[in-house]
Amino acid sequence: MPAVAVAISRALSYSDANSANVDLATALAEELGLPVVQAEDLADSEFEFVLRYGEKGLELDSLQPGHLGPIRVDFEHPTFAYRVKDRVNSQAITRAVGVKPGMLPEVLDATAGLGKDAYLLASAGCMTKLLENNNIVHALLRDGIKRASHSEDSRVRETVAKMELSLISLKQFAESKPRYDVVYLDPMFPAKRKSARVKKDMFMLQKYFERMKNAKEEGGLLSDAFTIARRRVVVKRPLRAPDMEEMAPTFRLTGRSSRYDVYVTG
């Protein structure tokens, strides 16, 4: 397991304006069972990753040479916000889950990650349940949803109100025999190299999960999803990746670098 710490800056510790961040960081470290380290001491530490509360929220950063900078969940980042506004109902992901006039399926995003796909689905009007079984990624996503719930933009607030997050694996969640119209899966797949085509947040998560023993594994996800989905299971895959669990989908929707494999269940 990678060594992760929660960082607190000495400057923040003595700043009334930022004392809330110190309290948040201390509480988070206790919740996750992580050590608290002064930010100024990180350079000489053995930690590989650090969680910290910055001006824009909770972020995960690598302490390794050549890293790309911290990642955080920011549903109002200009690039992502443009994607949400740019014909969200005609995007491949919404078509894959079956969004159409008069039809807004209830979706279970069983591999939530940083929540971008779930946010797109919620912005299209779908009530979306998010599952994330890694406690650090869950903390990042929870913080992003909380900040978005206080956004000045009413559309952002309305969107995250349709998102419900739980810290649990799909296998554990399936034990209660829930039912959703659609189960959406986006298993973590490795980047062969760091390049301009690999987005910073995905590259950071990939490097983090490479060091995790409980990284998201594909085995069993599809079969668990079938027990929950009333209408379809949607799997996001790299464009040239093999079918998940060697099971051919009912149909596919393809893009430039990825595809959506759709398994109709009813």
Structure-block tokens of residue 128: 């979306």
pLDDT 10s digits, 213-251:
444 455 689 999 999 999 999 999 999 999 999 999 999
Beta bridge partners of 4: 49
pLDDT 10s digits, 252-263:
999 888 999 999
Place 81 in a pLDDT band, splitting at 50, 70 and 90.
Answer: confident
pLDDT 10s digits, 53-64:
888 899 988 877
Structure-block tokens of residue 197: 């085509």
Provide the 10 A C-beta neighbour count for residue 19.
12
Q: Is the pLDDT of residue 155 over 70?
A: yes
Q: Is the pLDDT of residue 83 over 50?
A: yes
Q: What residue spans define the domains of the chain?
A: 4-55, 78-196+213-264
Place 12 in a pLDDT band, splitting at 50, 70 and 90.
Answer: very low
**Contact, 18 vs 49, CB < 8 A?**
no
Homologous superfamily (CATH) of 78-196+213-264 is Vaccinia Virus protein VP39 (3.40.50.150)
Greater pLDDT, 11 or 40: 40
Of residues 106, 119, 116, the one with CA closest to residue 155:
119
pLDDT 10s digits, 170-215:
999 999 999 999 999 998 655 445 444 445 565 666 666 554 544 4
